[in-house]
Structure 1
Amino acid sequence: MTHLPPPAEELRLLDTELRQLDARRALLLARRAWLITALRPPVAPPPPPPPVRRPETTAPRVQNVLLVLGGALLTIAAIAFTLVSWGRMGIAGRALVLGAVTLAALGSPVLLLRHRLRSTAEAVAGLGLALTVLDVYALHEVALPDTNGLGYAAIASALLAALWTAYGLALGGTRRPTGEAAAPARLTLRLPLPTALAAAQLPLILWAAAADAGAPVMTGALLVTAALDTAVALRVPVRSVCLVAALGAYGLGGWGSFAAGWLSWTATGPSAVARAAALLLFAAAVALAAAWRLPDTNVATWVASAGGLLTVAALGGVPRSSLPGEWTVPGYLVCAVAVLAAVRTRLPEPMRRGLALAAASVQAVAVVWALPPVTVALLGPVARVGRVWTGAPSTAREAVTTVGVPWPPYAATAPLVLVVVATVLAVAVRGTQWRPRATIGASALVWAAALVLPAALDIPYWAGMSAQGLTIVAALAYVARSAEPRPVLFLPALVSSVSLACLSLATEGTTLGVLAALTVLFAAVSGRSRLAPVAALAYATALACAVGASLGWQSPYIALLVLLVPVVAALLAARLAGSPARVPVEVTGAVAGLLAVGLAVPDPPLLALVLALCAVIAAGTAVREDRRPAGYAATALFVLAAWVRLACWGVGSVEAYTLPVTVPALLVGAFGRRKDPLTSSWTAYGAGLSVTLVPSLLTAWIDPDWPRPLLLGVAALAVTLVGARHRLRAPLVLGGGVLALDALHELAPYLVQMAGALPRWVPPALAGLVLLALGATYEQRIRDARRVREVLGRMR
C-alpha cells in the first residue's frame, strides 16, 4: 500500500521542493546571463558628441549695442551738421532741415512703439532729445547771440526739462485695466523723464551764476534743487526717475550742506550768521522730511542722522560768533543735547535712532576736542622724573607744562564738556544692555574732568595737588564700597596716582608725604582689586628710595631699605593663596629685589650681602609646597653672593667659585636618587661634577705649577673609583676622562722631548706598527668594546 502523509505534512514537503526548484532556476539563469555576456563581442563606446558652439552674447545685448551705437553716431552727425555745415545754408534751409529732423526723431518713437519696437524707439527718442539741445544752441547762435550765456542756459534748461517731461508723459502709457486680460499692455518710453529731471538740476544753479549772486544765494539754489529732487524721489514711482532724483538729492544736498556749514563757520556778523543758520535749517528740514517718508529703515536712520547734524550746526553757529572761542564746542554740545531730547518723542523709530546717532557723534567730537588738555595734565608731570626736588611751581598749570609742553588753547571749558557728556551718558542711557558700559564711560569722563580741572582753572600748585589727591581718595572709596570688585573703575585711580606721584617730585617733603599716603591708600583696598597690592608695593618701593635719598644714603645702602618690599611681598603672597593677586604681588616683589641688586652694584661687599638676603627671601618662599621652584633661584642667589664675596677677598682660585655650586648640586642629586632610585646618574651628578671638574681641567692645562694638576688628578681618581664602586656611569666617565686628560697634560713635556730626541723616521714607523697591531687584533677589540658597553649599560 502507498503511504500518504497528512495534508499539512504534504503541503510542507511541496513548499520545500518548490523553493529548491526556484533557487536552482535562479542559479541557472545567472549562469546563462554570464555566458551570454562572455560570448558577446565587445561594443565600442559611442563617440562623444561634437562641441556645440554657443554665442558669446545674447541677441538683446547685440540689439542694444547696435541701437546705442547708431543713436550716438546720429547724434554726432547732427552736432557736426550744426557746427560745421550750418553756415553753408540759408536761414530758411537751416531751420527747415534741423526742425524737420528734430520732429522726425521725436515723432518716430510713436510708430515704433505701436509696432512694439521699444528699444529702437528709445534710441530714436534719445536722438530727438539731443537734437532739441542742438536746436536751442542754434537758436542762441542765430537769433539771440548777444544774450547772457548763463542766463540763456538757465532758461533753456528749464524749457527743455518741461518739454522733455511733457514728451515723456505724452508717450507714457498705463498698464491694462483689471479684467481686460486680452488687451496687450501699451509700451512706454523710459528715457525722456529721467533726462528731463537731469536737465532740471541746472536752472536755479545757472540762474544764480548768471546773476552773479553771492555764496548764500548759490547755496540756497543748491539746497532748493536738492529739495525738489527729494520730493520727486519720494513721490514718483518710476525707478529710473527715482535714481536720478536720489543722485541729485544726495549730491547737490551734500554740496549745499557743506557750503552752508562753511558759511556758518566763517560768518562774522549777525546777518551772515542768520542766513547761514536758515540755510542749514532748511537742509535739515529736507533731510528730516525725507527720513519721515523713506521706507528703508537703515537709509532713513542715516538721513535722519544727517538732519540732526545739520540742525546742530545751524543752532550752534548762532552763538558762536558772539561768544569767546573756548565756548564754541560747548555751544554745539548743548545743541546736540537738545537734539537728543527729541529721542523721547513719538517720532518714528528710524528718525529717533538717527537723531540719537547725530547727537552721539557731536558728543564724541566734543570729547576728542577735550582730550589734548587731559593728555597734557596726565603726561606732563612725568617729565619731572628727571627734575627731582628742584622746587615747587606756583600754579597747577605750570606744574604740568614745566618742560615746555604748551597748554592747548581754548581748553578752559574742557572740564565742562567732559562733565556734560558724562551726565548725558548717565541719564540718557537706560537700557539694561548698555547701562554698565555707559556707567563706565561716565565715570571715566568725570575722572578726566577732575584731572584737567586744576590746570584749566590755573589754581595754585598745592590746591591742585590736594584736589587730585581727593579725587583718588574718592575713587578708591567708591571701589571699596562696591558690592563686587570693579577693576575697570580702579584704573582711573591708579593712573591719577601715578600723575600725582610725579607731581610730588617737586619738593622733598611733598614726595615723602604723597608716596606714604598712596602706599597706605592702595594697601587699604588691596582686597578689592588684584592691582591694588601691586600698586601699594610699587609705591612702597618708591617711598623706600625717597626715604634713603632724604637721609643722604648712598644707593647701596638704600638697597637694604628697598629689600623690605620683597620681604613684605613674600609674606603677603603666602596669605593670598588662591587669589588672582598672588602672582602679581610676587612679581612686584621680585622686581623690587632686582632694583635692590642694581642699587648695590657700586659696592661689591654690600652687593654680596644684598644677594644673600635675596636668597634668604627666595628660600623662605620655596618652603611653601607650591613654590618649590623658588629654591633654584635661592641657590643661584647664594652662589652669586658667595662669588661676589670671594671676588671682594681677592680669591682667584677657580675651585673656590665652583665648589660652592658642586657641593649643593651633589647633595640635591643624592637626595633625588634616594627618593627615586631610577633617576639617571647623569641627571643626579652630571651637572654638579662638571661645574668643578671642567673649569679645573681648563685651568690646569694653562697652569705651569704642579700642585693643581696633582690635586685635580687625585680628585678625578677618587670620582672614578666612586663611580666604579657604585657602578655609576656619570662619575666613572667624567672622572676617568678628566684623569686621562690631566695625565696627558703632565706627560706632554716629556713626550715632546722624546719626539725631539728620536730620528724622524721613528714616528712614522711607530704609527705603522700601531696600525698593524690594531688591524691584527680588530676582532678582539670589537669584542672588548662590546663587553665594556654591556658593563656600562648595567650600571645605573
Structure 2
Amino acid sequence: MTQIPSPADELRLIDTELRQLDARRSVLLTRRAWLVHALRQTPAPTAPPAPGARRSETTGPGVQNALLLLGGILLAVAAVAFTLVGWGHLGITGRSLVLGAVTLAALGAPVLLLRRGLRSTAEALAGIGLVLTVLDAYALYAVALPRTDGVGYAALASAALAAVWAAYGVALGAPLRAAGPEARPSLRLPLPAAVAAAQLPLLLWAVAASAGAYAVTAALLVTAALDAVLAPRTPMRSVRAVAAAGAYGLGGWGTFAAGWLSWTSAGPGAAARAAALLLLAASIALTTAWGAPKPGLGTNTATGVATAGGLIGVVAFGGVLRVSLPGMWTVPGHLVCGVALLAVAGAGLPAPVRRGLALASGCVGALSVAWALPVVAISLLGPVGRVGSVWSGAPADARDAVTNGLPWPADVVTAPLVLALVAAALVVAVRTAAWRPYALACALTLAWATLIVLPATLELPYAAALSVHGLLTAALLGYARRTGPRVTALVLSPLTSLSLAFLALASEGATLTVLAALTVLFAAAAPRPGLGPVAAPAALGYATALACAAGASLGLQPPHTALLVLLVPAAAALLAARTEDGPTTVSVEIAGALAGLLAVALAVTEPALLATVLALCGLIAAGTAVREDRRPVGYAATALFVLASWVRLASWGVGSPEAYTLPVTAAALLLGAYRRRSDTSVSSWTAYAPGLSVTLVPSLFAAWGDGQWQRPLLLGAAALAVTLLGARHRLQAPLVLGGAVLALDALHELAPYIVQVVDALPRWTPPALAGLLLLALGATYEQRIRDARRVREVLGRMG
C-alpha cells in the first residue's frame, strides 16, 4: 500500500529539486563560457571527411594568399600600364596627384590593416606600394629630369628607395600598442626589399662615373662587405637571406673580376691595384668566418669561407710577384705565399679560420706539386724510350738522356725547389699524431721527386744522373730498413732502380755496370727484415737482365744466351730452399719461374737448344720438388722433361707417335705404381689409366691409318700383355683398356675380309642376319643379363 505524502512534505521535496537544478545549470553555464573562449583562441579541429565526401584540395589561408598575391600583381600591372600608357593624358598636376594619392593610399592602408590583424592583406598592399614608389621615381625622371644621366639617376633613386623602404619597414615593424599587448603585427616585405635595392647604388654610381674596371670591382666588393656585416646581425631570416645572397653573389663576382685584373695586369702598378681589391675580398671572407658560428653560417661553412679567403690572399700577393719576377718564379712565389698562411694560422685565431687557412695552404701546395708533375713524369718515364735505341751512345747530358729528343717544358727550372718546399712544409707543419705518418710519407715522396728531376733540370752530366739515381735507390733501401714509412720507400726504390736501368741503356758499359750494381744492391738488402719480398725478386730480375746484357755483349745468339739466363732460376731455387720467410720464398720462386720462361722464349728458335733448356728447367723443378712443401712441382718437372724429349725427337725428325708417348707412359706408370704402393685406396684407373692411354690411344689411331702389318702386330701384342697383366693382378683399368685396344686392333685386321664377305653376299642377307641376331638376343636376353651382372661383379672385385 503506497503512502501519499502530505502537502507540506511534497512542497519541501519540490524546493530541494529546484535548488539542485539551479546548481547544475550554473555549472553548465560556466563550462559553456570556457568552451566558447577556447574555441575563439584556437581553430576548431576539422572532422575527418565522411566516406564518399569530396575532399578539399586547398586550405583557407592558401586561398587567401593566392587571391591577395593575384590581386597585388594585377594592381601592380595596372599601375605600370597607367604610368607608361595613360600618363600622357593628364597634366602635371593630375599626374602628381594621382600617383601621390595612390602611393600614399597603398603605403598607408597596411597601417590600418595591421591594427585589425590582417597581415596578409597588409603585405599585399605594401608590395603594391613599393612598386608604386619605383614608378614614382621613374615618373619623376621622365617629367622633371629627362636630361639627367639615366644610370646616375638610377643609382640615386635606388639609394633613396632603399632608405625609404627601410624606414617604412622599421616604422611598421614596431609593436602597435593600440591593438593590444598580445598583438605585435609587422610587415616582412619592406626590409628585404630595401636590402635588395641597396645592392645597386655603388655599382651604378661607378658605372655612371665611367670609373673603370677597378672602381666597378671595388663597388662590388664594398657592397658585398656591407652585406657580410649585415647578414649575421639581423634577426629577420628574410633580410639575412637577401644579405647573404648579396655577399656571396657580389663578393664572388668582384673576386673573379679582381683575379682577372691581376692575371691580365702588365705592370707592378696594375698588379698592386688588383692585389688591393683581392685583399679586400680576402678580408671580407676572413672577417665573415672569424666569429662563426653565427646565424646562417655554420662551422663547416665558415671553414670554407676562410679557405677561400686564404686562397684569395695568395692570389693577391702572387699576382704582384708574377709581374715583378721572371716567369720561372711565378709558381714558387705563390707557393711561398701559401706556406706563409701556415705561419699566419696561429693559435690566436678561431678554429674555423685556422682550419681554413691550413686548407688554403694545402691547396696551394697541391697545385704547385701538380705543376711540377710533368717534369717528374718526364724524368722518371722518359728513359723508357731508350729501349728503341739500346747502346746508341752516351747522351750529352742528363736532360738529353731523359727526353730522348722530346721537348723540355719551359720555365720549370724551379720545379725541384717547389717540390722541396712542399716536402719541408709537410714535415714542419703537420704535427698531429693521426696525420703525421701520412705527412712523412708524402714528404718522402716529394723529396724523392726532387732528386729525380734535379739532374735533368740542372742539365748535369750523364754520369751524374746515373750516380744520383743509384745513390737514391740505395738511400731508399736503407731508409726502409731503419725507419718509419717502409712501404713508401719499398715502392720508390724499385721504381727508381727501373728508371736507372732504362737510363743506362744508352751505353753498353753503363748497362753492364748498372745492372751488376743493382743486382748486388738488392741482393745485399734481401736478408734484411721486411725487405725480402721486394729486394729478393728485384735482385733476381736484374740478374736476369744482366745475363741477357752479358750475352749480347759477348755476341751470343739469343738461344745461347738462354743458357746464361738459366743460372737465375737455379739460383732462385737454391735461395728459396734456404729462405724461411714465406712471402720472400714465394716472390723468389715467382721471379725464378719468370726467368725460366724468358730462357725458353729465347731458345725457341733453335729446337736442339730448346730441348736442353727445357730439360734444365725440368731439372731445376725436380730439385724444387724434393722439398716437402713443394711436392706438386714434380708434375711441372715431369711435364718439362716430356716436352724436352718431344722437342728433341722433333729436332731429329722422328714422326712415330710411340717415340713421344712411351716416355710419358713409363713415367706415368712409375708414378702410378708408387702412388698405389703408398696408398692402397687409389684405384687402378687413377694410377694406370692415364699412362696407358697416352700410348695405346695414339698408337691405335696410327694403326688404323697404317697399311703395314708391323704396327698393328706390335700394338696387339702390347694390348694383349696389358690385358693379361690386368687379369693376373685383378686390375680393372689395364684389363678394360688392354682388352678394348686388342679388340679394336683385331677388328682393324679383319676389316678387309669382312668387306669382301659383305660384298659377296646377296642383298637380302644382311637383313636376314640382322633378324636372326635379334631373335637370338631376345631368346637369350635373361641369360645375357645374368652373364653381364656376373662380369660386372668380377670386375668390381678387381682393383
TM-score, normalised relative to structure 1: 0.91
Q: Deviation at 1:445?
A: 0.4
Once the two structures are TM-superposed, the CA of residue 240 in structure 1 deviates from its matched residue by 0.9
Structure 1 residues 175, 532: CA separation in 2 closer, same or farther (over 3 Å shift)? farther
The structural deviation recorded for 1:485 is 8.3
Deviation at 1:183, TM superposition (A): 2.2
2:38 corresponding residue in structure 1: none
Query: What amino acid does structure 1 have at the position aligned with 2:133?
Result: T
Distance 2:485 2:137 in 1: 80
1:391 aligns with 2:393: yes
Question: Would you say the 8 A contact 1:234–1:293 is kept in 2?
Answer: no
Partners of 1:376 and 1:405 within 8 A in 2:
no
Q: Does 1:89 align with 2:90?
A: yes
CA distance in 2, matches of 1:578, 1:459: 42
Q: Which secondary structure state, in structure 2, belongs to the residue aligned with residue 227 of structure 1?
A: helix
Alignment check: 8 A CA contact 2:611 2:648 kept: yes
1:642 matches 2:645: yes
Match of 2:372 among 370, 373, 396: 370
Q: Is residue 201 of structure 2 the alignment partner of residue 203 of structure 1?
A: yes
Deviation at 1:698, TM superposition (A): 1.4
One-letter code of the match for 1:108?
Answer: A
How far the C-alpha of 1:182 sits from its partner, in A, is 8.3
Letter in 1 for 2:397: T
The CA deviation at 1:53 is: 5.2
SS of the aligned residue for 1:186 comes to coil
CA distance in 2, matches of 1:258, 1:153: 25
Describe the SS at the equivalent of 2:431.
coil
Q: Secondary structure at the match of 2:352?
A: helix
Question: Aligned equivalents of 2:723 and 2:132: distance in 1?
Answer: 115
Counterpart in the other structure of 1:496: 496
Distance in 2 (CA, whole Å) between partners of 1:363 and 1:441 is 12
Seen in structure 2, the aligned counterparts of structure 1 residues 485 and 536 have a Cα distance that, compared at 3 Å, is farther
Residue in 2 aligned with 1:615? 618
Kindly state the Cα deviation for residue 677 of structure 1 after the two structures are TM-superposed. 1.4
Please report how far the alpha carbon of residue 54 of structure 1 lies from its aligned counterpart in structure 2 after TM superposition.
4.3
Asked if 1:518 corresponds to 2:479, the answer is no
Match for 1:584 among 570, 587, 597?
587
Q: 1:522 corresponds to which letter in structure 2?
A: F
Specify the alignment match of 1:289 in structure 2: 287
> 2:467 & 2:66 partners in 1: Cα distance?
81
* Residue 780 of structure 1: aligned partner: 783
1:257 aligns with 2:255: yes
Match of 2:631 among 628, 631, 637: 628
- The residue number in structure 2 matching 1:24 is none
Tell me which amino acid in the other structure corresponds to 2:415: A
User: Structure 1 residue 518: deviation in Å?
Assistant: 0.7
* Most deviating of 250-259 and 167-176: 167-176
Q: Distance in 1 between matches of 2:703 and 2:153?
A: 111
AA partner of residue 657 (structure 2): V
1:308 equivalent to 2:310? Answer: yes
User: CA separation of 1:749/1:317 partners in 2, compared to 1, >3 Å: closer, same or farther?
Assistant: same
* Structure 1 Cα separation of the partners of residues 702 and 751 of structure 2: 16
CA distance in 1, matches of 2:790, 2:89: 123
Cα distance in 2, alignment partners of residues 323 and 136 from structure 1: 53
Residues 388-416 of structure 1 deviation map (CA, whole Å, 9 limit, x = unaligned): 100011011111111x4321111110000
* From 330, 353, 358, the counterpart of 2:360: 358
Q: Cα distance 1:713–1:291, how it changes in 2: closer, same or farther (>3 A)? A: same
2:163 maps to 162
CA distance in 1, matches of 2:488, 2:417: 23
SS of residue in 1 equivalent to 2:688? helix
State how far apart, in whole Å, the 1-side matches of 2:791 and 2:125 are. Answer: 108
Secondary structure in 1 matching 2:413: coil
CA distance in 2, matches of 1:51, 1:612: 94
Shift of 1:72: 2.0
Describe the shift of the 1:99–1:582 C-alpha distance in structure 2 as closer, same or farther (beyond 3 A): same
Q: Is the 8 A contact 1:75 1:131 kept in 2?
A: yes
**Hey, what does 1:225 align to over in structure 2?**
223
Q: What are the within-5 Å matches in structure 2 for residues 96-135 of structure 1?
A: 96-135=97-136
Rate the CA distance shift 1:100–1:387 in 2: closer, same or farther, 3 A: same
Q: Which residue of 2 aligns with 1:273?
A: 271
5 Å matches for 1:202-601?
202-295=200-293, 296-402=298-404, 404-482=405-483, 486-526=486-526, 527=528, 528-529=530-531, 530-601=533-604
Q: CA deviation at 1:474?
A: 2.2
- Are the structure 2 counterparts of residues 788 and 218 from structure 1 closer, same or farther at C-alpha, using a change threshold of 3 Å? same
Stretch deviating more after TM superposition (741-750 or 626-635): 741-750
What is the alpha-carbon distance in structure 2 between the residues aligned to residue 328 and residue 106 of structure 1?
Answer: 59
**Aligned AA for 1:470?**
L
Deviation track 1:419-453 (CA, whole Å, cap 9, x = no partner) reads 00000011111121111111111111010000000
1:603 alignment partner in structure 2: 606
* Matched letter for residue 456 of structure 1: T
- In structure 2, the partner of 1:188 is 186
Match of 1:699 among 702, 715, 726: 702
Q: Distance in 2 between matches of 1:520 and 1:52?
A: 94
Unaligned regions of 5+ residues in structure 1, if any? Answer: 1-47
Kept in 1: contact 2:430–2:436 (CA 8 A): yes
Distance apart, 1:493 and its partner CA:
1.8
Shift of 1:181: 14
Q: Is the 8 A contact 2:722 2:738 kept in 1?
A: yes
In 2, the alpha carbon distance for the partners of 1:467 and 1:175 equals 85
* Per-residue deviation, residues 276-311 of structure 1 (Å, max 9, x unmatched): 010011111111111112212212211111111111
Preserved CA contact (<8 Å) 2:440 2:485: no
Alpha-carbon displacement from aligned partner over 1:432-482 (angstroms, at most 9, x marks no partner): 111111111111101000000011111121222222222222222323334
Amino acid across the alignment from 1:339? L
- Over 3 Å counting, the alpha-carbon distance change for 1:670 and 1:212 in structure 2 is same
1:15 counterpart residue number: none
Deviation digits for residues 539-562 of structure 1 (CA, Å, limit 9, x no counterpart): 111011111111111111111111
CA distance in 1, matches of 2:565, 2:221: 72
Counterpart for residue 745 of structure 1: 748
Q: TM-score, normalised by structure 2?
A: 0.90
Cα distance between partner residues in 1 of 2:499 and 2:261: 43
Deviation at 1:106, TM superposition (A): 1.3
| Aligned counterparts of 1:667 and 1:413: Cα–Cα separation in 2 | 72
Amino acid at match of 1:631: G
Residue in 2 aligned with 1:23? none
Pick closer, same or farther for the CA change 1:251–1:381 going to 2, 3 Å.
same
Letter in 2 for 1:184: E
Letter in 1 for 2:364: V
Deviations 1:131-175 (A, max 9, x none): 222222222233322222222221111111111111111110259
Cα-to-partner distance string for 1:5-47 (whole Å, 9 max, x where unaligned): xxxxxxxxxxxxxxxxxxxxxxxxxxxxxxxxxxxxxxxxxxx
Question: Residues 447 and 370 (structure 1 numbering): CA distance in 2 closer, same or farther, change over 3 Å?
Answer: same
- Partner SS state of residue 396, structure 2: coil
Alpha carbons 1:501, 1:514 under 8 Å: kept: yes
Residue pairs, 1:666-677, within 5 angstroms: 666-677=669-680
CA displacement at 1:343 relative to structure 2: 2.1
1:644–1:175 CA distance, 2 compared to 1 (3 A): farther
In the alignment, is the contact (CA less than 8 A) between 2:445 and 2:488 conserved in 1? no
Q: Which amino acid aligns with 1:192?
A: P
Secondary structure, counterpart of 1:442 in structure 2: helix
Relative to structure 1, is the Cα distance of residues 90 and 727 closer, same or farther in structure 2, using a 3 angstrom cutoff? farther
Deviations 1:183-240 (A, max 9, x none): 2031111111111111111111122222223211111111011001001112222111
Matches of 1:751 and 1:102, distance apart in 2: 126
Question: What is the distance in 2 between the residues matched to 1:83 and 1:224?
Answer: 35
Q: Is 2:766 the counterpart of 1:763?
A: yes
Query: Following the alignment from structure 1 to structure 2, what is the Cα–Cα distance between the partners of residues 627 and 607?
Result: 25
Does the CA contact (< 8 Å) of 1:234 and 1:294 recur in 2? Answer: no
**Farther-moved stretch of structure 1 (164-173 vs 415-424):** 164-173
Unpaired runs of 5+ residues, structure 2, are 1-48
Provide, for residues 63-122 of structure 1, a one-character-per-residue CA deviation record: whole Å limited to 9, x for no partner.
Answer: 322322222222222222322333333333333333322222211111111111112211
Specify whether residues 609 and 63 from structure 1 end up closer, same or farther in structure 2 by C-alpha distance, changes over 3 A only.
Answer: same
Q: How many residues align?
A: 744
Distance across 1 between alignment mates of 2:176 and 2:662: 108
